[in-house]
A = this chain, B = another copy of it.
Amino acid sequence: MKKENIVERKTDLVADWQALIRTFIMPDNDAAKTRLVKYMEQILFGLHDFLKKHVGITEETSLKELSQRFSNSLINENPEKRLADVITDLIEDIAPHAVNVASPYFVGHMTSAIPFFMVHLKTIVAALNQNVVKLETSKVLSVLERQVLAKIHRLIYRESDEFYDKHIQNHKTTLGCFVEDGTLANISALWVARNSMLGPKAGFEGIEKEGLINAYKVYGIERAVVLVSRLGHFSLRKSGGLLGIGNQNIIGIDVDENNRIDLKALKKTIREIKHSSRKTMIFAIIGIAGTTETGAIDPLRRLAEISAENKIHFHVDAVWGGPTLLSEKYRHLLDGISLADSVTIDGHKQFYMPMSCGMVYFKDPTIMDAVIYHANYVNRPGSVDLGIKSLAGSREANSLILDSSIKIMGSKGYALLLEHGIETARNFAEEIKNRPNFQLITAPELNILTYRICPLHLQQELSKAKSEQRNVINARLNTINRQIQILQREAGKSFVSRTTLKIRNKSEENEENIVVLRCVIMNPMTNMEILNEILDEQEEIYQKHFGGLK
């Protein structure tokens, strides 16, 4: 058989059984070990210095050039390089072209610096290599995971001691589940919601078994929809597509001037759906605790009430904002979250865990029965295996990282991080308002804000201009802000992201697409001095490339 997919490039390395077993167990020799020890020491005990020194330092290498360097689709027959050389390449040659998300100047996405000990914890998890979906490959870690789930469940739902005593280690019930990320968490929540709203009844074995077509017939509906603010994360549309309800049936509701779901618009939509000729079931209403683009928090308590009145599953996407519950000072912002039927939170966002860890929690510890699966060789009925009710069939023990981190930081340690982000974002908003070249677009409710370059004279002009004229000015500003974001990113020192918001123009009752710069302040090393530098650089780029727009 021809081996078109495997080649032999020249190397003095040979794969034989003895070499293989050695490679499996230990470094080639003392020199190799010394090199590995050096790197591992730097990574484990000087993480932030290491990242500063090695990562993202050669931004000038273009994507095109990198693409050319990584265009070899052939696998070598014998080892291409020794382990120590591969690691050296990783550190010296690949890492420099990665992105230093740990830099305090990297304030554009929801990925940031993590405490150095997170890397230690991840190392231990990898070494243990447990698969937590089954007890036979995890034992204590399945038990520990249930405890962590209960801790976070309690943070959200604040049920009684009796409730947690009953459920914490009860393998017949489930308080939540670890998943890959926020998207999978939202998918899981809506999967459970769909199945419980269209569950078994006389002559029908439920949507999971019989499928959507039978479910709609039995329940007498032609359509199932989900209602969420139009600022909902795109994972919700993806969930709609995946679950077979169709992503156009994830209906985006208008937001108010604070980017929160407009309750009047929501109620109007509910009324319209109820009186529609097309029989429609609203199977979930979603509240967002920290929208991706602006960090806004929907009025969760009111949404819970509306959902309850209409007997609709109430889901809260707290992927971003959930950990705010750890701050006594700001947890009131999420008031009403304890009324949610399901809540999603990411570990790798504001729990400061390494990539990636999502979680989903449920008020009713039996609701996940709607997604039970068994197999003969594992996850047998009645078993303690966590995999009985979970999307994934193999999972690493991320729960161990979260459990340890909570012990190391305490709720107050997390609270300090969260409060620093919120308060720094507020100060930053003030600074933006004070700078005549900038316009604050969305003030921070949590630690996310958006703004744009828009010199004061243009702000004034815009406030007086008619629709058509406004469009011309905004189009130009959009181009400029888009360019500034790209130029700053490519300069390699700072990173803010950009997005396009639909902003309602009060006077004219229409909406405008506004390109904005977006900052997410979560790195504890990010301070006002750094944020001022970032603004300075943006102003410089603006002056240099657009000559101070007249």
Contact = CB atoms under 8 A, between A and B. Distances in A.
Interface string A339-371: 000000010100000111010000000000001
A328 interface: yes
A90 B120 CA distance: 11
A165 B68 CA distance: 10
Contacts of A420: 17
A546 interface: no
Interface stretch (A241-249, A260-268, A434-442, A462-470): A241-249
Interface in A4-20: 4-6, 13, 15-17, 19-20
B126 A354 contact: yes
Given A129-B114, A136-B495, A411-B76, A124 B5 contact: no
B155 A248 contact: no
Interface string A229-265: 0000111011011111111110000000000000000
A208 B413 contact: no
Interface stretch (A105-113, A302-310, A471-479, A531-539): A105-113
A504 interface: no
A97 interface: yes
A237 B373 contact: yes
A151 interface: yes
Contacts of A134: 109
A131 interface: yes
A94 interface: yes
Contact of A413 (B79, B99, B489): B79
A24 B377 contact: no
Contact of A169 (B67, B75, B184, B518): B67
A298 to B, nearest CB: 18
A120 B35 CA distance: 12
B411 A6 contact: yes
A27 to B, nearest CB: 7
A72 to B, nearest CB: 7
A81 B413 CA distance: 12
A138 B395 contact: no
Interface in A186-221: 187, 191, 195, 205, 207-214, 216
A245 B244 contact: yes
Nearest to A247: B209
Contacts of A5: 151, 154-155, 158, 325
A73 B165 CA distance: 8
Contact of A213 (B51, B222, B409): B222
A3 interface: yes
A78 interface: yes
13 contacts: A20-B409, A23-B115, A47-B127, A71-B168, A73-B147, A79-B407, A82-B408, A83-B117, A99-B139, A122-B123, A180-B184, A211-B246, A233-B393
